[in-house]
Amino acid sequence: MTGLSNSFGGHDSSFLKMPTIKFTKLFINGDFVDSASGMTFETIDPRTGEAVARISEGAKEDIDVAVKAAREAFDSGPWPRLPGTERGKIMMKWADLIEQNREELAALDTIDAGKLYHFAKDVEVPTAANTLRYYAGAADKIHGDVLKMSGKFHAYTLLEPIGVVGHIIPWNAATTMFFTKVSPSLAAGCTMVLKPAEQTPLSALFYAHLAKLAGIPNGVLNVVPGFGPTAGAAISSHMDIDAVSFTGSIEVGREVMQAAAKSNLKSVSLELGGKSPLIIFDDADLDKAVELALIGILFNKGEACVASSRVFVQEGIYNEFEKKLVKKAKAWVIGDPFDPKVQQGPQADRNQFEKILSYIEHGKREGATLLTGGKTVGSKGYYIEPTIFSNVKEDMLISQDEIFGPVMVLMKFKTIEEAIKSANNTKYGLAAGIVTKNLDTSNTMSRSIRAGIIWINCYFAFGDDVPFGGYKMSGFGRDLGLEALHKYLQVKSVVTPIYNSPWL
């Protein structure tokens, strides 16, 4: 039986930290405003399935107003014209304000997305502040190159901000993705319109408030909650947005690309999820491998684009691995994410909850063996047991589709060649993990798997200076690292004649 916290359901006042929701309107040109239509939508607490606030619903008209503010701030405002050191100082102040308010921000993500409160407070929000600091430090280090031309010319390149950027971010990591997108584009000198996921608008609006307190000028950062087919589509197709960065599904990524192509051919970067393999070899430390496999799929209740949802174990240790894995999964503690004893909260919303359950039923019908889990937990909210399937064939839906929940498929392999073939047998290519003590094995595997990040004897090892993005249908473009900064910059070449120089 999966472990349950005694505080399941979220009614124990000893750890309940319901925040006051202060910001529910659109943030445009430095002010919180109602949507043009006056329409609102509910944001739901996944612990209970009940609404906690009504949020102004942005649509095309609101995106137009936000883009106009961002365009004016870019074309005529101070932000792109400030020295990088000054932009960096304001970003540093914003980061300090985020840390000062981290308990409230973490609580907002907990009631909006079911995030573990203590993890959000102690890790995710401070890490986001540090992402902001990383790019604040890069803001005064944006340099072009001097070029040696073959003729009597002097040439150099300038790196200039790309302009107005549209950011469309997902619900599974509302805080992390906000700053993954906003930080490098701010450092580059861009202005922007950001649409948070409709499931998780609360922290984004609070961050906008703190940005204004930090001194980010009006119009530089605009936050417009709304729905994909309206607000998101308006960003993707807007003729006055110069670049769009999207994280989400393949289906919506295609729509973003099509809208960008049909409008002004704006620059596009996409991160579209994954079906990441974790490959465990016979020589692996078994207990460590079990721990990595479990965290790889159950972290954030499996709502992670890099979740190790396909686990391949070499046949020599497979039986012992499976036994240990199932035992640990059954002891996993599910319950109210404010409870510090809880390891897994609810799925983010009803749609995701029902989607995951439908895939579990698919797995059963297709003939996979359900080793543990597969059921809902409790009578209220969107809780699902950690679920592990074995005897899975690679063409099954549960092996090919991104489920985005606490569902692992467990498979056996014999040789390294078989492992490479199986790892690459997916339309995705975002991440992969390798567990082995053999350097040759790790080198061969890491160079053979077509994915944007490979973790060896670790998992979820992210860093601000480590580029992140996908191969194949996991998208293109990179977040984090200096690669992310450069995708918000244009390269301009400048050439001038040289007269009477002794050197060419």
Active site residue 104: no
Measured between its terminal Cα atoms, the distance across the chain in Å is 77
User: Which are the contacts of 391, defined by CB distance < 8 A and separation ≥ 6?
Assistant: 367, 368, 369
3-state secondary structure 182-233: HHHHHHHCCEEEEECCCCCCHHHHHHHHHHHHHCCCCCCEEECCECHHHHHH
Catalytic residue among 255, 271, 303, 385: 271
Q: Which residue has the tokens 């119009």?
A: 219
SS3 content of the chain, % helix, strand, coil (to 5): 40, 20, 40
User: What 3-state DSSP class applies to 269?
Assistant: strand
Catalytic residue flag (residue 190): no
Measured distance CA(270)–CA(463) in Å, rounded: 19
Tokens 């919303």, residue located = 349
For residues 353 and 165, what is the distance between their CA atoms, to the nearest angstrom?
32
For residue 375, what are its two tokens? 């059921």
Q: Show the DSSP H helices in 263-381 as ranges.
A: 286-298, 318-330, 350-365
**Which member of 190, 255, 303, 305 is catalytic?**
305
CA angle 43, 48, 51 (to 5 degrees): 25
Q: Which active-site residues does the annotation give?
A: 271, 305
